A and B are shown apart, each in its own frame.
Chain A
Amino acid sequence: MKKTGTVIMYSVLLVAAFLTLAPLVWMVSASVMPTGDASAFPPPFLPSRITFAHYERLFTSLNLARYLFNSAFLAISVTAISLIVNSMAGYAFAKYRFRGRDPLFKLLIASMIIPSQVTMLPLFLMLNKMGFINSYIGVIIPGMASVFGIFLIRQFALSIPDSLIEAARIDGAGDFRIYRSLILPLCRPVLLTLAIFTFMGTWNDFLWPLIVMTDDSMYTLPVALANLSLEHVQDTELMMAGSVITVAPVLILFAAVQRHYISGIMAGGLKE
């Protein structure tokens, strides 16, 4: 009785794992198939022979290196800037007493319910007046501070004992010194989690870069890929190669840091 239960359970789990991974595996496999191979019946799961011609074409004639640079540059910039801005704010909310602190924090949390799409039209007009449309700054600006990030840092910083901060103060450390040399090192785990979230979020973001980047040379990978895929509908293998390049960096990053990433989601989920 118990044994059949185990067998059934494993079968379901394995089939589900296969179905979950199959589209990703097929993407990689089709990306190295010779042109036209993927359009056959029955659809081949493995390439008849391996070719990297599609990757070559993406980089030589379709400007993919540029999109890769744009995506990487934006994701790194937004991550670096927002980490500094959010950690300072999160620390202040956790460890300083000032008038209106709690209502202000509650207000910020409540504002999370407003979908970002609401801000997009005026933000576009604003950035247009400032000349930041079709520039990196246009994508970086809305990502500079995030309520989610401030919240995550604050929750973590609350657990830092006040006595530690007091001791540093008695030793003569100023406010900024304490933040830099005491708080930031202590917050390392949560900073890493937030960095991963921000990097992946910016890398995968689509709607806002689609709106801001009007010129081909400024496209991020997802915007370029969406554009290419509408032009090259029939070029299955080429599109799969483009998808691999777009997905690979985040998947590799996830594989490297998955413990941090998943525990971050668990922590967020339990606290409400």
Chain B
Amino acid sequence: MAGRRAVILFLGPALLAIGIFFVVPVLAAFVLSFTDFDIYALGNFDFARFVGLKNYAQLLADPLFWKAFRNTLEFLLIGGPLSIGVSLGAALMIQSKLVRWKGFFRTAYFSPVVTTLVAVAVVWRFVYHPRFGILNYLLSLVGIRGVDWLGDQHWAMPAIILMAVWKNFGYNMVIFIAGIQNIPEELYEAASIDGAGRFAQFRSITIPLLAPTTVYISILTMIGYFQLFAEPYVMTQGGPLNSTLSVVLLMYQQGFRWWNMGYSAALAFVLFAFILIGSLIQSRIQKRWEA
């Protein structure tokens, strides 16, 4: 097919937009991370100077950064597997032959996914209210004394994780359902004829065949969970005692509240590096499985 002009016409707008408003900013952020760009430079770019690796060195020596890093990692390593586990459990139950009304359950579980994060974070702030919250009330019914979820530095992150699992599990559940539907029925029939029980079938057919889906979901979930921001912003502002401060929240505060843009850019690249390393590890695990 000919039509050089057509290609330029069709691709031009998209490539121009991505080039100017994505590629250039990424490169600029990289340069920015080696400068001391601050509020003075905001008025006149000439005030920014190259400082080499100073931002990165400062970052690695900053206890606040390590706090934010540990918090984000906690959110990721506990919240990630938890939400994937709930997604898988929900998908398996909905797809079970015993269950009807699949559409209803699927829609019910999925509805938190489409809601606005800020709005549901506002709602959950009241769910977690120490005196009038529903959660502590439900706990009191079974004789458990509630805690000040968002006001206690040991419970604030678990509370945010619980809300995130509630908000997100429907998304991965739908991908798992698609994966389960893709497993050929004949495999189960053949196994059944060979005398394999339900559990054996689950272990040697369902689990291995869902492995690629699981890796895909893990990478997506990890990328999303690394970017934790709105939940602590609305529910705790990173507190109490910075126990819910995340890397992106720190980046936002440094960059857009204190205008330490050079330092903030370094933080952004550290975030990127984490995501890259995490994805590489996971895709390597996948390759090993396939080999």
Contacts and interface: CB of A to CB of B under 8 A. Distances in A.
A119 interface: yes
A96 B10 contact: yes
B109 to A, nearest CB: 6
Interface string B176-214: 011100100000000000000000000000000000110
Nearest to A236: B126
Interface residues of B, number: 94
Contact of A222 (B96, B112, B119): B119
Interface in B269-290: 269, 271-272, 275-276, 279
B111 A204 contact: no
Contacts of A147: 18
B241 interface: no
A240 B5 CA distance: 54
Interface residues of A, number: 95
Interface in A191-233: 200, 203-204, 206-207, 211, 221-223, 225-226, 229-230
A226 B232 CA distance: 11
Interface in A179-197: 179
Contacts of A247: 115-116, 119-120
B259 to A, nearest CB: 10
A122 B213 CA distance: 36
B116 A12 contact: no
Contact of A229 (B4, B125, B223): B125
Contacts of B256: 124, 211
A222 B231 CA distance: 12
Contacts of B252: 207, 211
Given A5-B98, A16-B90, A262-B106, A250 B116 contact: yes
B115 A123 contact: no
Interface stretch (B19-27, B57-65, B68-76, B77-85): B19-27
Contact of B117 (A88, A175, A204, A223): A204
A170 interface: no
Contacts of A21: 108, 111
16 contacts: A21-B111, A23-B166, A27-B119, A40-B132, A111-B23, A114-B26, A118-B269, A119-B22, A122-B25, A204-B115, A223-B118, A242-B119, A243-B119, A253-B114, A258-B110, A266-B174
Given A41-B137, A118-B268, A165-B1, 7 more contacts: A84-B13, A108-B18, A115-B268, A206-B117, A226-B230, A242-B119, A266-B177
